[in-house]
Amino acid sequence: MSETNDGDREHRSLNIEQWRAAFSASCFRCNVESKRPNGFSGRVRPLEIFGLAAADLSLQGGRLERPHLYARADGAEHYCILVPLAGRSLLIQNAEPVGLQVGDTCLLDSGRSVTFNDRDDMPVEWLAARLPRKTLNAHLRFEPPAGSCAPAGSLAGRLLAQLMKEGARADRASPAFSEPYMQLTVYDLLGALFAGAHPSPVTDRTQALFDRACEIIKGSYADPELGPSEVAVEAGVSLRYLQMLFTARGSTCTHYIQAVRLDHALRLLQVRNQLNTGQPLSQIAYSCGFRDYNYFGRAFRQRFKCAPGDVGRTPDS
């Protein structure tokens, strides 16, 4: 690797089986073939980049393939980001061929099959890092498509490549306390690269999560402590991802919680009027999760265009 220390560069060349085993441990399980029996050479240097499992890789005269059988059996839940450092290669994921060269950035999905070939029969070299799928998707608020490739030239791509190179330098490793922040920087740069390529955030999976969050709110609205953070914990997602689920549908979690509380308050007020129970209005407000009656009254009037005490009254009453 052009940016590493001279000592790090002096790795012994691995045979096909050794390279396959090292690559599988660092990135994902795969098969490796060579066009010529003695024409294969390659190196794998495992490392960490800001706390992420990573590797400095080189390959010549080889073909890498991760069949669908491996992807399905492994149950791997991560992406693999590739930053080419030398040479040209051809990568295929989702039946889409993508040419990679220095300056490009590619994001692979470990849950899908992939094929990789060097081009021009020249050595290729790249940095690879594993990114946890759930964490990345929650941070980006979308799921980047498999085999996404951002061509050279973008500012975010140049910054990401430089950041990866700096992170790979053993003598420049960031302190452990800073690693989470550096990881978020990597995620943000990926978001800048692939934001325009993502599909609609409303999918079957996100709809199921949204429905789950709504059920949690409907079952717990009477708790005055209920807020977006509590809903996110109960649903098993990050607060940011929860907010994305509601934003994608033109709302917010806070607004939905208040709407459920107000709707229930309206039903209780209608029953109060029909049965003439004389139940204190403040008691109804508190039973629906409102701590402050004055706030409840303002929110109720804004939503239903009448005061809580006027529910069910005729204009002449």
Stretches where the chain sits below pLDDT 70 are 1-12, 37, 72, 75-76, 94-96, 120, 146, 170-177, 196-204, 313-317
- Distance CA(253)–CA(210), nearest Å, equals 10
Predicted pLDDT of residue 185: 92
Q: Delineate the domains of the chain, giving CATH numbers in brackets.
A: 6-197 (2.60.120.10), 201-312 (1.10.10.60)
Predicted pLDDT of residue 4: 40
Tell me if the pTM is above 0.75.
no
- Tell me: the pLDDT tens digits for 122-169? 889 989 999 988 888 778 777 777 677 887 778 998 999 999 998 888
- Tell me: the pLDDT tens digits for 229-268? 999 999 888 888 888 888 777 788 999 999 999 999 999 9
Predicted pLDDT of residue 288: 95
Predicted pLDDT of residue 25: 85
